[in-house]
Amino acid sequence: MSTATRGGARVARAGRCSGRRARASGRARRSGATKAGEDDALRGTLDAVAVATLRALGGVARDVAGNANVKPARFPRGPREDVALELVYDPLKFLERAREAHGDAVGLTLAGENVVLVSSPALARAVLVDQSECFQKDGTAFFPGSSLAGNGLLVSDGETWARQRRLSNPAFRKAAVETYARCMIEVGERLVNKTWSRRGRRDVYADFNDATLEIVASALFGADVVGARASKINGAIKDSFEFFGRRAATGMIIPEWAPTFDNVRYNDAVKRLDEEVYSIIAKRRRAMASGEQNNELDLLDRLLLEKDENEGDGNDATGMSDKALRDELMTLMVAGQETSAILLSWACALIAERPYVGDKIATEVRQHLKTKENAGSSLDASDFSKLPYTEACILETLRIRPPAYMVGRCAARDVELRSDVFITKGTTVLIAPYLIQRDSQYWNDPKAFKPERWLVKSPYSEGTLARDALKNLGPNDAYFPFGGGPRVCIGTGFAMMESVLLLALICNACELRLPPGSSAPKPKALITLRPDEIKLDVGPRPRSVF
């Protein structure tokens, strides 16, 4: 029997079994199900079919690997079997076992394809920095053919990426980022003064999702996103994120055109987003053509104003097309919202385990506020670099719980990373910050949460702790939560300012505790490293001085 025939049989058997289970489940539920319940049942059916199909395809991949997957010369050693299922079901354990068994360069067969996992600073630097021109961004591994991401910075390559990066860079320079601090602080103050004003148990990940979504929408679109339009955009973004979360959880990538329940809902969300975003872009272009301009520029204003100097001066230079603008705005919403929500959720969870850390942040904030010219005033952009312990807590959270726990690149040509690691064109290289940033070879007591490790003065200090920590690939090339090299995250400064200011506001106003009898949240590795479940007891912090 051929590989294809065996694979088809697996898929058919898995589909029939899943279908029978799903129909039985559906009959049991229909008796008293509400519409929401029926939707959940349908989604569960689709997930069951997806998982069953993944299992079947895993068998196909093993067949392909056994019969046709030829390893090139100097391909790193690794497991003989296809690891697709293992990587999908428990990525973190797989990463740790692979390194322990095979070292810092592991050759894998992943769904029939050759993949190399690297987990040493030297190899990470080779891929991200020293030989970055030999690799393309493997963004399609996370948003393959996605109508949401389009061809934005997250997934584009070559000259398209280079041009979009040139046009986007000015919107993320220090002076520009500081203008967004006010909306960050306003959202943070509403969170602590309203949402968390009473003592109780909160799903902090859900709260931070709402808060960071409001911040990124305000930074992108300013006053154009309020009221009903804000609700429409926020709802569509949430639907899109949930779609990608479920896709990552099952490990199945069903084409977006397939008429499944999830795809229909997702495509409707993208359509709603497109309608609003294109409408805002058109409105801004009309305003600029008539000489109108906002006093305070938001990100969209800055992107609209930029012209590509490489194309010439004056009338010869052009900016982004509506489609390019749309793709970048979508990319910024995707990349700028969820990762910040995850980072702040992890920071609060780690602090809830160690209440003394929250006390120290509150003390730092209150002592700093006393030194300000207007005593009793709130935080502002200038305070970002004056709260070193708070900043250290964010840096340490990024080290021990990096939202981007794995980074992908695809070799654009044959390249030697070192004498025993040769990467052939088309091979995917997976870089694991999660392993490198928690490795005892490069960090003292690596599994412990120790913000103090960042407070030692750097020999190349140039200002803020973050600037020192994130320079190049951090200490010993072993710290790169925002990636590295030419494709380092464009929003690093935005994310650091947002997370430091919000954490300062939170710890100054609130106490965070784990619920009695509960354990610390466990990491759940999907597209990003999320907390599995994160409910904390939150309440007002006494105003007494420590």
> Binding site membership: which residues?
489
Q: How many CA atoms lie within 13 A of 364 on its CB side?
A: 24
Distances (CA, A) of 196 to 192, 202, 208: 5, 8, 12
Measured CA to CA, the distance from residue 178 to residue 416 in angstroms comes to: 42
Q: Which residues contact 62 (CB under 8 A, 6 or more apart)?
A: 81, 82
Q: What is the DSSP track for 52-113?
A: HHHHHHHHHHHHHHHHT-PPPTTPPP--SSB-HHHHHH-HHHHHHHHHHHH-SEEEEEETTE
471 token code pair: 């320079």
Q: H or E element: which one contains 447?
A: none
> Rounded distance, CA 54 to CA 111, Å?
10
- The answer to whether the CB of 294 falls within 8 A of the CB of 221 is no
Q: Which of 491, 35, 508, 523 is nearest to 261 (CA)?
A: 35
Strand, coil or helix: 150: coil
- Residues annotated in the binding site for heme, as ranges? 489
Q: Which helix (H) or strand (E) holds 7?
A: helix 3-30
Amino acid at 225: V
Q: Which residue has tokens 């506001």?
A: 505
Residue 70 contacts residue 107 (beta carbons within 8 Å): no
Classify 246 as helix, strand or coil. Answer: helix
DSSP result, 334-389: HHHHHHHHHHHHHHHHHHHH-HHHHHHHHHHHHHHHHHSSSTT----GGGGGG-HH
Give Dmax over CA atoms of the chain in angstroms. Answer: 80
Sign of the dihedral defined by the CA atoms of residues 501, 505, 508, 511, in that order: negative
Residues counted in the chain: 546
